[in-house]
Structure 1
């Protein structure tokens, strides 16, 4: 995503040192995105002279950031094979915690090792959680021979109301035994006795960074992701930068009211939240209530026995089964209400669906697009793209967390760029 580097340049100065830093930053990002490149290829991609590229590569090699990785293929005319250069992905390492798993990454976002935390980890007290995380981070580092000075960052992706700027979990919604306003970033670093950055945000926010990478070099005025599974949420990017808001509530789309008349209570205490209206549990309840009306449906037996899965429903809806389509159509209504509100609030160019419904298939997506456009005020907005993500959750968090830390690393190494 090398174009993104140009987009993120702030207050660029004409001072030679600043120009040099900008060019180094550009080349590093280019090499991180590619397996290996020759000086000629780098020069063509960056519009820098070969002489300038050589000087930058020499400087980056001296810092251990770039290394020679052999020779490339000669041209059709023959001649000397070009030397190839690559980013040294093992210059630093990252530890990511998500869904009870600690994963060790290199700076290329490549997973190297992982540890599953004990069963019941999600019910631990705050102190127990810190101690368990610290113990297993040490184990992960020791068995991979990672010294603390080689650790670029620890990243925590978790649910709840979060203040990422200060590393505070304001309300760990799914951990009711935790107090509010816990500075988990500084507390973990203290327990580890390491001077290492600890970055905290919702896992869904890190998934958003992965979506940016997956979309390539495009820069979006506003991009929104919507996630729905057992819990729901999303994130908002403007000009490829995550918008966190002032109080940690940005992206808590699951707690927007979809049906003010519903009696279904959400974990947040309100009723009729989007999260409960599109839950699979609710869809299965509807199936048990309605199945007798569809005795010839392929879903009839499973609905009667209570063994229906959302995959069964999605598959049957894509085959045109009326029972399945009725179940999906109601979910589409709630999604349509939410997305129209998101459009009014954020006016995105693209909305990416993640979670359970990213596997719903053509019927759901076609119906959803029509539902969103069913109101006159939205009918002209044909440029808004609503698409499915094609990255699974864990891969997305790891890819996104790695990219987030990479940008922090670049900005610290090359200030004023």
Structure 2
């Protein structure tokens, strides 16, 4: 029996999945991303996990799909950079993985992989044109146009997280610019606003819940669930900025659907309800009436399921060429 491996490398965790040829996931595991160690150590960690975790001989693995957060130039097989993963600038990830492993490897941006997963298995089934946005440590975006992933000239299409919303006075983004959507709406941004709130000394439930240094986005959402006014204001402002960015993209691209994925997307009442309101207000009327904004269905497995589906396409095409 042969197997396939799917990997989703994010800013804080790596999800590794072992799957059958038909894409059914047999086992999966999350391990921390040692982001500050750089690509060489991260990839060695990954290979070590694959060989020990699943207890499957490498010769029984026929291919791996690898997706990660970052700007991936698919023509060159190079990561141009990753705002939340230092040290990956101009890194030949495809070449390095092929050197470390003795089976075929394909590489894709994580948002593209997640979009393909939702298109094949999840919320986007039956649609041919969609926009997916992932909300997590950063913000990713991906486009499917006429049933195909849109990569753009150098593979960077869909980078909605770096639409400038407040380019002059906004906070610094990991990409080096100011006021990007990611710097205003991501989990990192929401946590930053929560810590800034504590520094002001305003009355907030966050004082009773967590110390400033360890505050995360989930703490802001937890306080908002308990009715904390300041936390609700942080989330509402993030929803407004996100609605603005999404409306800009949808007015330009006219997709059939917008899918919201990533860890923060699980906050449906607190985030998605105000987001839908702002999004609808900023769209031109015909699209406000016809373009739904829906939560993703595949959760944290969207990336690995999508990259496994793309791997299947790759191996099938490779097999056809050998006939």
TM category, shorter: 0.7 to 0.9
Q: For the residues of structure 1 that align with 2:88 and 2:135, how far apart are their CA atoms? A: 24
Query: Is the 2:257–2:291 contact (alpha carbons within 8 Å) kept by the matching residues of 1?
Result: yes
Shift in Å, 1:284? 0.5
Q: For the residues of structure 1 that align with 2:269 and 2:44, how far apart are their CA atoms? A: 46
Summarize the alignment of residues 153-232 of structure 1 with structure 2, pairs less than 5 Å apart: 153-180=63-90, 182-192=91-101, 194=102, 196-215=103-122, 218-232=125-139
Which of 121, 143, 156 is the matching residue for 1:236? Answer: 143
**Number of residues of Structure 1 aligned to a counterpart in Structure 2:** 313
User: For residues 229 and 381 of structure 1, do their structure 2 counterparts lie closer, same or farther at Cα, with a shift above 3 Å needed?
Assistant: same
Which ranges of structure 2 fall in alignment gaps of 5 or more residues?
none
Question: What is aligned with 1:249?
Answer: 156
1:276-303 CA distances to partner (integer Å, 9 max, x unpaired)? 11122233135426773xx5x6x36437
Report the more deviating stretch, 203-212 or 268-277.
Answer: 203-212
Question: What is aligned with 1:27?
Answer: none
Question: What is aligned with 2:56?
Answer: 144
Question: What is aligned with 1:349?
Answer: 256
Report the more deviating stretch, 379-388 or 230-239.
Answer: 379-388
Q: For the residues of structure 2 that align with 1:287 and 1:310, how far apart are their CA atoms? A: 13
The alignment yields a C-alpha RMSD, in angstroms, of 3.2
Shift in Å, 1:384? 0.7
Q: For the residues of structure 2 that align with 1:308 and 1:134, how far apart are their CA atoms? A: 33
Report the more deviating stretch, 171-180 or 361-370.
Answer: 171-180
Shift in Å, 1:361? 2.2
Question: What is aligned with 2:20?
Answer: 106
Query: Is the 1:264–1:276 contact (alpha carbons within 8 Å) kept by the matching residues of 2?
Result: yes
Q: Helix, strand or coil: the match of 2:284?
A: helix
- TM-score between the two structures when normalised by the length of structure 1: 0.65
Q: For the residues of structure 2 that align with 1:129 and 1:301, how far apart are their CA atoms? A: 36
Which of 256, 260, 264 is the matching residue for 2:171? Answer: 264
Q: For the residues of structure 2 that align with 1:320 and 1:369, how far apart are their CA atoms? A: 20
- Structure with max Cα Rg: 1
Report the more deviating stretch, 334-343 or 102-111.
Answer: 102-111
- TM-score between the two structures when normalised by the length of structure 2: 0.81
Does 1 or 2 have the higher relative contact order (CA < 8 Å, sep 6+)?
Answer: 2
Shift in Å, 1:349? 1.4
1:111-157 CA distances to partner (integer Å, 9 max, x unpaired)? 4456777x77433454445555445544567x32352xx43312221
Which ranges of structure 1 fall in alignment gaps of 5 or more residues?
1-89
Q: Helix, strand or coil: the match of 2:141?
A: strand
Q: Helix, strand or coil: the match of 1:383?
A: coil
Q: For the residues of structure 2 that align with 1:316 and 1:127, how far apart are their CA atoms? A: 39
User: For residues 112 and 376 of structure 1, do their structure 2 counterparts lie closer, same or farther at Cα, with a shift above 3 Å needed?
Assistant: closer
Query: Is the 1:302–1:308 contact (alpha carbons within 8 Å) kept by the matching residues of 2?
Result: no
Shift in Å, 1:199? 0.7
